[in-house]
Amino acid sequence: MKWGRFLAFLLMAAVILGGTAGSVTNLWKSIPLGLDLQGGFDLLYKIEPLPGQPITESGKQALVQAVENRINSIGTESPMIDLEGQNELRVQLAGTFNQAHAKQVIGTTAQLQIYSSAKIDKKTGKITGPAGKLLATGSDLKSNATWVQDPNTGQNEVAISFKNPTQWENITKQYYQKPIYVFLNGQLLTDPVIKQKMYSGDSVISGPSLNTVQACNQLANSINAGALPYNLSLVSQQSVGPSLGQESLKATLWAGLAAMVLIFIFMIVMYRMAGLIADLALVAYGYVTIAVFDGMHIVLTLSGLAALVLGVGMAVDANIITYERIKDEMRNGRSLKSAVKIGNKNALRTILDSNATTFIAGAVMYAFGEGDIRGFATALMISIIVSLLTAVLLSRVLLFTFTNSNAIRRPWWYGVGKGVLKNDETKV
Amino acid sequence: MKPKFDIIRLSKWFLLLSSAITVAGIVVFAIFGFNLGTDFKAGSRVQISFSQPVNQEKVGQMFQSIGVPMRDTSITVAGTRQNVAVVRFPEVLTSAQQNKLDGAEKAYFGKDLPDSVQTVDPFVATQTAHKAVYAVLIAAAFIVVYIAIRFEFRFAIAGIIALLHDVFIVLAAFALLRREVDLTFIAAVLTIVGYSINDTIVIFDRIRENLKIVKPKDVETLKQLVNRSLWQTMSRSINTVVTVLIAAVILYFFGGVSIRNFTFALIIGLVSGAYSSIFIASPLWVLMRGRSLKRGKRKETAKTELV
C-alpha cells in the first residue's frame, strides 16, 4: 500500500465533499429562478407597423427602450425584455404585482406629458409626480428626437420638435425663465428651465442628468417611444401563481434528490468501491453544473431542472461504460492496474461519440427552439460538457490515484463478480 | 463469451413487432389525432391549486357561475391530494372573465391564492409546432452526418431509423392515451432523440471495434459478431437504463405537476430507446451490411470467372 497516493485520494475526496457542502446552498440560492418556479408572467407581443412605416432595427430598439421605461414605472424587479423572431417582443416579469395594471401599462401607448409644475416631497426634495397644468403630451411631438451637442458649450442635449410650432411658442412665452416638467408614464424624465422664447417648434432639452451621449440617446428614444413607433398586440400570455411555482419546485427538488440518492446506492451496489468513486464524481458534477449556471446567470426553469437531473444520467452512463470496460479487461486476464488503464482508454472514445451526438441534438434545439426549449438545450449542453470534465476526467484521476495506492486489490471491490475470474484472489 | 440468446436470428420478429406498433400508431393518428395543449392550439388553460380536494362537478359549477360555457371533459383534477384543477377552453378568456374567476374561486372554495392562466394565439402555436418538427429533422440530419463521418453511412441509417422509431412510439403513446401535447413534450421528444442515439452509438462503437479484430467474410460470421457485441454491451445497456429510469420514474410520481408530461414521455422514450438500440438498430445494420457482403462476393466471383 502506497500511503502517499492513498492520502492524495482522500484529500481529493475531502475537497470535493467539503467544498460542495460548504457553498452549495449559497450558490443554489443565488441562481435566479424562472417564472414557472417563482411565479410571474410572460407576455408575447406582435410588433405591428403603423401604415407607411416599415419595421426597422433602430425602431425596434426604441420600442424596447420604451417598454423598459414603462415597466420601470411599475417598479418590478429585473424585467426581461427580448426581441424574438422577425417582429415579436417578449416581456417577462417575475414576482407578484398587479398583473392587469402591468399589462395595461405595457400594452397601451406611452404617456409622455409636459406639466407646468410638479409635486415635491418636502423631506427629500424629490419630484414625485405631476401637478399643475398639462401643457403638452407625446402626441404633440414629432418622433424625431435626437442627441445633439450645443455648438458653443459642447454640452450634450436632446433636440425635439413640436408638430404644431405655435403650441411650443405659447408654452415658452408663458413659462419663460421657469421650469417645466417632462414625465413618461408618471415618472420624471427631465425638468428643464425655459431660457428662450421659441418660434420654430424646435427645441433642446438639457439637464444635469443628461451629461453623457448615452443618457441623451436614451431620452431621445423615450421621447420617440412616447409617440411609439409601432403598435403592440398581445398574442400570448402566461401567468404563474407563485404558490404553484413554489410547490412544483419543492416537489421536483425533493424528487430529484431522492433519485440521486437511489442512483448513488445503485452505483455502489453494482460497482462497490468504483461506484463510490463515481458517486464522488457525480457530487462534483452537480456542484460544478450549479456553479456554471450561477456564473452564466442562467435562469433556472422547470425544464432546465429536468435537464440537470437528466445530465446526471449521462454522467452515470459515462462511469458505467468505463467500469464495464474495466470488467471486460479483467475477464481477458489483465491485472487490475492495467485493466483500469486500458478500460478507461477504450471507454473514452465511446463516451465522446455518444455525448457528441446528444450535444448535437442540444445545439440544434438551441438554434431552432425558443423560450423553454432553449433553456432546456442550454442546460443540456452545459451538463454534457461538465459531465465530460467531472464524470470522465475527474472520475478517471480519482480511480487511477486509488488503484495506484494499492489500498484495495480484490477485483470484487470494482464490481467484478465471483466466477467471472477463475482465481480472482491472485490476479491483482 | 458465449452468446446467451441469438438476438439477430430473432430480429425478424422484433422488426415485425415495431412495424405493427407503427401501423397501430398511424391508425390512431388518423382516427384521433393529438390532444393538443394550449401551446399548440388557440385558447386558454387555467390551472388552479386549492387548499382542499375538489371535484370536476364543483369546478364546473364555478365556471358556469361566471358565465363561461363548460364541457365536463375539459376539466382535469390532479395533484397528490386532488387539489389541482386544470381547465381548458377553446376560446381565449377575456381579462374581465379572468377577474371574475378570482371572485368565483373565493365564493366557491374560499381561495385567495392567484392561479395560472395561459392564453395562446394560433399564430404563435403553429409557429412553435413547425419549429419543433424542423428541430427534430435537422437534429437527425446533423446526427446522420456525424455518424457517417465517425462510423459509416450504414450505421447512420440504422441509427436514425431506430431514433425515429422511438420518437414515433412516444407520439403514438401520447395519441393513444390522449395525453396533452405541449411545449415540455417537445423538449422530452428532443431529449429522447439525444438519449436514443446515445444508446445506439455505444453498441455501434463495440461493433466497430470488433470489426477491427475480425473481418467477417460471410453473413453468418457477421451475425455472430453483432450478437457478441450486443451481449458485451448488455450489462452497460441495462444498468444505464435502470439508473435513468429511476430518476424519470421518481420525477414522474413525486416531481412537480408541470413536468409530469415531460417525464411520462421520457419514460416511454427511454424504454423504447433501449429496446430499439438492441433489437432494431443492430439487426438493421446487419441486414444492410449483409446485403453488401453478398454483393461484394458476387463481384469477386464474377472477377474470377473473367480471369
Across the interface, which of B146, B236, B247 has its CB nearest the CB of A360? B146
Are residues A297 and A405 located together in one domain of the fold?
yes
- In this predicted structure, the answer to whether residue B303 has a pLDDT above a threshold of 70 is no
* CB of A97 less than 8 A from some CB of B: no
- Give yes or no: residues A388 and A275 share one domain: yes
Quote the CA–CA distance of A245 and A96 in Å, as a whole number. 12
- Residue A181 phi/psi, 5-degree rounding, is -125, 120
CB-closest option in B113, B116, B244 to A239: B116
Residues 6+ apart with CB under 8 A from B131: A368, A369, A370
Contact assignment for A358 to B198 by CB distance below 8 Å:
yes
Check if B2 contacts A (Cβ < 8 Å): no
A279, three cell numbers: 458517486
Contact state of B206 with A360 under an 8 Å Cβ cutoff: no
State the pairing for strand pair A230-240/B35-36.
unpaired
Residue A362 lies in a domain: yes
B149 or A147: which leads in pLDDT: B149
Q: Cα separation of A234 and A158, whole Å?
A: 32
Contacts of A100 in chain B (CB under 8 A): 95, 99
Cα Rg for chain B, rounded, in angstroms? Answer: 25
Nearest CA in chain A to B266: A310
What are all long-range contacts of B290-295, with beta carbons under 8 Å and residues at least 24 apart?
Answer: B290/B219, B290/B222, B290/B223, B292/B154, B293/B216, B293/B217, B293/B218, B293/B219, B293/B222, B294/B219
Inter-chain contact B246–A259, Cβ cutoff 8 Å?
yes
Distance, in angstroms, between A288 CA and closest chain B CA?
Answer: 20
pLDDT band at B302 (very low <50, low <70, confident <90, very high): low
Residues of chain A positioned with their CB less than 8 A from the CB of B193: 361
Q: Which residues of A touch B117 (CB under 8 A)?
A: 237-239
Comparing CA positions, the residue from B272, B281, B279, B271 lying closest to residue B205 is B281
H or E element, residue A264: helix A242-295
For CA atoms A418, A421, A423, A427, the dihedral sign is negative
Residues A250 and A378 in one domain: yes
Q: How do residues B218-267 score in pLDDT, each as one tens digit?
A: 888 999 999 999 999 999 999 999 988 888 898 888 877 767 888 899 89
Report DSSP letters for A1-59, one per residue.
Answer: --HHHHHHHHHHHHHHHHHHHHHHHHHHHHSPBPHHHH-EEEEEEEEEEPTT----HHH
Residue B89 reports pLDDT greater than 60 = yes
* A369 and A287 within one domain: yes
Neighboring chain B residues of A237 at a CB cutoff of 8 Å: 117-119
Whether B180 shows a pLDDT value over 90: the answer reads no
- Map grid coordinates 375539459 to a residue: B74
Size of interface A-B (CB pairs under 8 A): 215
Supply the range of the domain harboring residue A409.
3-36+241-414
* 3-class SS of residue A136: strand
From the list A334, A388, A346, A360, the residue with the least C-alpha distance to B205 is: A346
The residue type at A373: I
The CATH number linked to A49 is 3.30.70.3400
Contact state of B124 with A247 under an 8 Å Cβ cutoff: no
State the nearest Cα–Cα gap between B194 and chain A, in angstroms: 4
Whether residue A115 is found in the same domain as residue A235 = no
**Portion 193-212 of B in contact with A at CB < 8 A:** 193-195, 197-199, 201-202, 205-206, 209
What's residue B207's pLDDT? Answer: 94
Residue in chain B lying closest to A306 (CA) = B259
One-letter amino acid for residue A240 of the chain: V
CATH 1.20.1640.10 domain extents, chain B:
11-36+123-306
CB A36 to CB B120 under 8 A?
A: no
Check if B138 contacts A (Cβ < 8 Å). yes
3-state secondary structure of A109: coil
% helix, strand, coil for chain A, step of 5:
55, 20, 25
Verify whether the Cβ–Cβ distance A376 to B187 is below 8 Å: yes
Confidence of residue B85 (pLDDT cuts 50, 70, 90): confident
Window A:314-333, CB contacts with B under 8 Å:
314, 316-317, 320-321, 324, 327-328, 331
Chain A residue with Cα closest to B39: A236
Domain B11-36+123-306 bears CATH identifier 3.20.80.10: no
Q: List CB contacts (< 8 A) between A354 and chain B.
A: 197-199, 201-202, 205
Backbone φ, ψ for residue B179 (5° rounding) = -80, 150
Pair A24, A290: CB distance under 8 Å: yes
- Judged on CB neighbours under 10 Å (0-12, 13-18, 19+), A400 is middle
Q: Which residue(s) pair with A237 in the sheet? A: A43, B119
The x, y and z cell numbers of residue B44, run together, are 386558454
DSSP output for A320-365: HHHHHHHHHHHHTT--HHHHHHHHHHHHHHHHHHHHHHHHHHHHHH
pLDDT over 70 for what percent of chain B? 81
Distances in Å between the alpha carbon of B4 and those of A186, A311, A428, B8, B232?
79, 32, 29, 12, 11
Q: Which chain B positions have a beta carbon within 8 Å of A270's beta carbon? A: 239
DSSP A201: S
Give the lowest-confidence range in A276-290, B16-30, B278-292.
Answer: B16-30
pLDDT band at B208 (very low <50, low <70, confident <90, very high): very high
- Asked whether residue A98 falls in the same domain as residue A128, the answer is no
Which has more confidence, B42 or B248?
B248
Residues A235 and A247 in one domain: no
User: In whole angstroms, how far apart are CA A188 and each of A179, A191, B296?
Assistant: 13, 8, 83
Q: Which residues of A touch B114 (CB under 8 A)?
A: 39, 96, 239, 241-243
| One domain for residues A121 and A165 | yes
Q: Which three cell numbers stand for residue B75?
A: 376539466
CB interface of A with B, residues 382-401, below 8 Å: none
Give residue B26's pLDDT: 81
A19 and A50 assigned to the same domain? no
DSSP B214-265: ----SHHHHHHHHHHHHHHTHHHHHHHHHHHHHHHHHHHHHS-GGGHHHHHH
Q: Say yes or no for a CB contact (<8 Å) between B146 and A349.
A: no
Give this prediction's pTM.
0.69
Reading the block at residue B107, the C-alpha cell is 365564493
- Estimate the crossing angle of helix B234-254 against helix B183-213, to 10 degrees: 170
Chain A residues in contact with B187 (beta carbon < 8 A): 303, 306, 365, 372-373, 376
B181: which 3 cell numbers?
401535447
pLDDT in tens, chain A (428 residues): 778 888 888 888 888 888 888 888 888 888 877 776 676 777 888 888 766 667 788 778 877 877 776 676 555 656 778 887 778 888 887 765 666 666 666 765 545 678 888 877 777 777 777 777 888 876 677 767 788 888 888 888 888 888 888 888 888 888 888 888 877 656 676 787 887 777 888 877 766 666 778 777 766 766 665 555 677 777 777 766 655 566 777 887 888 888 889 999 999 998 888 899 999 999 999 899 989 988 888 877 766 776 776 788 888 999 999 999 998 888 888 888 888 899 999 899 999 998 998 888 888 878 877 666 777 788 889 989 999 999 889 999 999 898 888 877 777 777 776 555 544 444 44
Q: Are residues A347 and A395 in the same domain?
A: yes
Say yes or no to pLDDT of B307 above 50. no
Closest listed residue to residue A237, CA positions, set B117, B100, B131, B202: B117
Class of residue A150 by CB neighbours under 10 A (exposed 0-12, middle 13-18, buried 19+): exposed
CATH of the domain at A206: 3.30.1360.200
Same domain? For A245 and A351 the reply is yes
User: Alpha helix (H) ranges present in chain B?
Assistant: 11-32, 56-65, 95-109, 122-150, 153-176, 183-213, 219-232, 234-254, 260-276, 282-306
| Domain contains A282 | yes
Nearest Cα of chain A lies from the Cα of B304 at a distance, in angstroms, of 40
Better-predicted residue by pLDDT, B304 or B22: B22
pLDDT at B273: 92
Pairwise CB contact (< 8 Å): A244 & B262: no
What is the rounded distance in angstroms from the CA atom of residue A400 to the CA atom of residue A393? 11
Say yes or no to pLDDT of B204 above 90: yes
Q: Which is more confident, A99 or B106?
A: B106
A279 vs A351: CA distance, rounded Å: 18
Pairing of strands A187-190, A181-184: antiparallel
Tell me which residue of A12, A50, A20, A8 sits closest to A289, measured CA to CA.
A20
CA distance B302 to chain A (A): 39
Q: Say yes or no: B146 contacts chain A, CB-CB below 8 A.
A: yes
Distance CA A347, CA B209 (A): 11
**Domain assignment present for A208:** yes
- How far apart are alpha carbons A106 and A92 in whole angstroms? 11
- Contact predicate B212/B61, CB 8 Å: no
B-contacting residues in A 166-225 (Cβ below 8 Å): none
Distance, CA of B80 to CA of A321 (rounded, Å): 37
Mutate to test the interface with A, among B251, B267, B270 (most CBs of A within 10 A): B251
* pLDDT for residue B86: 73
Report the distance separating Cα B26 and Cα B20, nearest Å. Answer: 10
Chain position carrying cell 395595461: A104
Contact B246 A263 (CB under 8 A): yes
Could you tell me the CATH number of the domain that includes residue A409?
A: 1.20.1640.10
Helix (H, G, I), strand (E, B) or coil at A276: helix
Positions of CATH 3.30.70.260 in chain B: 43-120
Closest of A398, A426, A423, A403 to residue A413, by C-alpha: A403
Contact at CB, A361 and B186, closer than 8 angstroms: no
Give the residue-averaged pLDDT of B141-145: 89
Query: Most B CBs within 10 Å: which of A88, A108, A239, A244, as the mutation test of the B interface?
Result: A244
- The more confident residue out of A309 and B282 is B282
Average pLDDT over residues B201-214: 92
Q: Using the CB atoms, write b or e for B99-115: b if 16+ within 10 Å.
A: ebbeebbeebbebeebb
Query: Is the separation of the CB atoms in A184 and A222 below 8 Å?
Result: yes
Residue A222 inside a domain? The answer is no
Give yes or no: residues A204 and A186 share one domain.
yes
Q: What is the ipTM of this complex?
A: 0.75
Q: Which of B121, B53, B58, B122 is nearest to B87 (CA)?
A: B58
Res B237: pLDDT: 92
Count structural domains, chain A: 3
pLDDT at B1: 47
Give the integer Cα–Cα distance in Å for A82 and A63: 11
Domain B43-120 has CATH 3.30.70.260: yes
